[in-house]
């Protein structure tokens, strides 16, 4: 199994361009099932999760043509409803995104339980409840068997603002008969991209970016062409890497308009950046001082649905806090295993108290020492990579397939910024 060897303490400098947004690419690829016309997608990230989704779609009869490394033509002329490969589904959470479009196009699919990151229970009840409101019937016997005679628009209140459940409900609704009102919808940038992509093909989705979507069903969708935007999670990872290595980097085509809340949170840890059009410039003279609450109280960073601070950036923020002067409490109520990677940071010398599965207190700054470790999930794996970049000595990170699931050629990008990193 591949591993990274990193010699820390080297400031990152130069320019980098983030890859396409994984969390936009996956639902958009699934949504290609909704039309029998060709779709050309640009800026597809070359990562493991995207290739797993491609394999799942190919098993359903979808044809692919690679026009270049990041441009695919996708053509779902004929769809063959079937039980998805359990092993492929075990590798990716986004396999569940095939439920909505397959029901809209074919009325049937058998879906093994989805896998993905091991960060605690990730319920699928919200997906099921939304699809049932549209007329879907479900049987469960180790796998989910979804079927429907016809999808009919409905007034749906999601019991949580789940990103993937919102995406499934959107994809099922665009070809449903009548109008769907989707309330308590998630509104992340990748959901907005999915809506824009579908509207580009003839869907009628209103109030994009809000938590109440109005979707008027249409009889069919055309083909089209679409460019996937930058991955803001990768952008923030580079911001964090630059800050804690005391480097200065420019992130090209970074879509800074999506990072307003992230900027507020990072500012509280003494990290700031400048914006020049679509580019972000991270200077080397970072304060790296945690701003306390009034009366010198310990500040809390808590994840919340968009546009608040996203759970997928919690691991990166914790590593940044280990290098900032002061104390901060981090709270991720969404996933009970998100914080468990902090034991690796403690072994490197970080001063972190894990209060419970959802909360930890970080006191910084602390000198991090190189270590041999493994990344348990995509975001924790990237966070440990950042820690290794700032640590004294040579670190080894194993299980880097987790990082490769969400970050395209991250070792090459970091090496171009001056990092001492080797894949072996």
Whether residue 396 sits in one domain with residue 261? yes
Q: Decide: residue 18, CB within 10 A, 0-12 exposed, 13-18 middle, 19+ buried.
A: buried
Pick the last residue of a domain from 227, 253, 277: 227
Residue 23 is assigned to a ligand binding site? yes
CA distances from residue 68 to 27, 52, 62, 193, 411 in whole angstroms, order as listed: 21, 18, 18, 22, 21
Q: Decide: residue 44, CB within 10 A, 0-12 exposed, 13-18 middle, 19+ buried.
A: buried
Q: Which residues are catalytic?
A: 117
Whether residue 214 sits in one domain with residue 86? yes
> What values do phi and psi take at 83, rounded to 5?
-80, 125
Cα separation, 332 vs 126, whole angstroms = 20
- The pLDDT, as a whole number, for residue 119 is 38
- The pLDDT, as a whole number, for residue 83 is 79
* 118 within 8 A of 337, measured Cβ to Cβ: yes
Whether residue 238 sits in one domain with residue 160? no
- The pLDDT, as a whole number, for residue 123 is 64
Whether residue 250 sits in one domain with residue 200? no
Whether residue 14 sits in one domain with residue 71? no
- The pLDDT, as a whole number, for residue 336 is 79
- The pLDDT, as a whole number, for residue 4 is 97
How many residues are listed for the chain in this entry?
A: 424
**The domain containing residue 121 runs over which residues?**
22-227
**CATH number of domain containing 326:** 3.65.10.10
Write down the pTM of the prediction: 0.93
Whether residue 411 sits in one domain with residue 337? yes
* 254 within 8 A of 16, measured Cβ to Cβ: no
Cα separation, 308 vs 212, whole angstroms = 17
Whether residue 275 sits in one domain with residue 191? no
Angle at 395 between CA 2 and CA 337, to 5 degrees: 75
CA distances from residue 61 to 214, 263, 353 in whole angstroms, order as listed: 31, 43, 50
Whether residue 261 sits in one domain with residue 148? no
* 371 within 8 A of 330, measured Cβ to Cβ: no
CA distances from residue 132 to 95, 108, 126, 128, 375 in whole angstroms, order as listed: 19, 13, 10, 6, 37
- The pLDDT, as a whole number, for residue 261 is 94
- The pLDDT, as a whole number, for residue 1 is 67
Whether residue 131 sits in one domain with residue 52? yes
Cα separation, 124 vs 99, whole angstroms = 11
* 154 within 8 A of 83, measured Cβ to Cβ: no
- The pLDDT, as a whole number, for residue 36 is 96
- The strand order across the sheet containing 204-206 reads 155-157, 179-183, 212-216, 204-206
Task: Please state, as a whole number, how many other Cβ atoms lie within 10 Å of the Cβ of residue 261.
Answer: 15
Residue 93 is assigned to a ligand binding site? yes
- The pLDDT, as a whole number, for residue 116 is 45
- The pLDDT, as a whole number, for residue 117 is 41
Residue 334 is assigned to a ligand binding site? yes
- The pLDDT, as a whole number, for residue 86 is 83
> What values do phi and psi take at 249, rounded to 5?
-130, 155
Pick the last residue of a domain from 227, 248, 277: 227
Radius of gyration of the chain (CA): 22
Whether residue 199 sits in one domain with residue 293? no
Domain count, the chain: 2
Q: What is the pLDDT along the chain (424 residues), one digit of tens a residue?
A: 689 999 999 999 999 999 999 999 999 999 999 999 999 999 999 998 999 999 999 999 999 999 999 999 999 999 988 778 888 887 787 889 999 999 999 999 988 877 644 333 456 889 999 999 999 998 888 788 899 999 999 999 999 999 999 999 999 999 999 999 999 999 999 999 999 999 999 999 999 999 999 999 999 999 999 999 999 999 999 999 999 999 999 999 999 999 999 999 999 999 999 999 999 999 999 999 999 999 999 999 999 989 999 999 999 999 999 999 999 999 998 877 788 899 999 999 999 999 999 999 999 999 999 999 998 889 999 999 999 999 999 999 999 988 998 999 999 999 999 999 999 9
Pick the last residue of a domain from 212, 227, 242: 227
Whether residue 80 sits in one domain with residue 134? yes
Whether residue 144 sits in one domain with residue 66? yes
- The pLDDT, as a whole number, for residue 115 is 65
């Amino acid at each position: 199994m591949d591993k990274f060897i990193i010699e820390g303490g080297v400031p990152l400098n130069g320019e980098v361009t983030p890859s396409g947004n994984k969390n936009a690419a996956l639902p958009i690829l699934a949504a290609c099932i909704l039309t029998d016309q060709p779709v050309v997608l640009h800026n597809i990230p070359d990562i493991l999760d995207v290739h797993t989704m491609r394999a799942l779609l190919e098993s359903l009869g979808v044809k692919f043509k690679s026009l270049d490394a990041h441009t695919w033509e996708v053509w779902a002329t004929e769809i063959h409803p079937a039980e998805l490969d359990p092993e492929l589904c075990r590798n990716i959470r986004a396999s569940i995104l095939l439920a909505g479009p397959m029901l809209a196009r074919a009325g049937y699919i058998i879906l093994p339980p989805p896998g993905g990151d091991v960060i605690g229970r990730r319920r699928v009840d919200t997906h099921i409840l939304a699809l049932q409101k549209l007329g879907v019937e479900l049987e469960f016997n180790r796998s989910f068997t979804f079927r429907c005679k016809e999808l009919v628009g409905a007034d749906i209140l999601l019991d949580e603002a789940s990103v993937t459940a919102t995406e499934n409900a959107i994809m099922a609704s665009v070809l449903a008969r009548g109008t769907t009102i989707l309330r308590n919808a998630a509104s992340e940038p990748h959901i907005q991209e999915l809506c824009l992509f579908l509207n580009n093909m003839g869907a009628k989705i209103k109030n994009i970016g809000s938590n109440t979507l109005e979707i008027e069903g249409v009889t069919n969708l055309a083909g089209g062409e679409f460019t996937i935007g930058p991955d803001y999670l990768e952008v923030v990872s580079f911001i964090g890497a630059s800050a804690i290595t005391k480097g200065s980097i420019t992130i090209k085509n970074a879509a800074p308009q999506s990072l307003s809340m992230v900027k507020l949170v990072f500012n509280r840890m003494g990290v700031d950046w400048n914006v020049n059009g679509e580019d972000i410039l991270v200077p080397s003279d970072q304060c790296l001082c945690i701003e306390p609450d009034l009366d010198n109280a310990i500040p809390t960073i808590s994840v919340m649905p968009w546009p608040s601070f996203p759970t997928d950036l919690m691991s990166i923020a914790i590593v940044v806090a280990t290098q900032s002067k002061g104390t901060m409490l981090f709270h991720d109520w969404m996933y009970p295993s998100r914080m468990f990677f902090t034991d690796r940071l403690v072994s490197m010398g970080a001063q972190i108290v894990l209060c419970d599965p959802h909360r930890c207190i970080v006191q910084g700054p602390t000198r991090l020492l190189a270590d041999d470790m493994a990344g348990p999930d995509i975001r924790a794996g990237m966070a440990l990579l950042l820690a290794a970049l700032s640590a004294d000595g040579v670190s080894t990170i194993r299980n880097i397939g987790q990082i490769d699931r969400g970050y395209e050629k991250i070792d090459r990008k970091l090496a171009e910024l001056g990092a001492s990193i080797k894949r072996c």
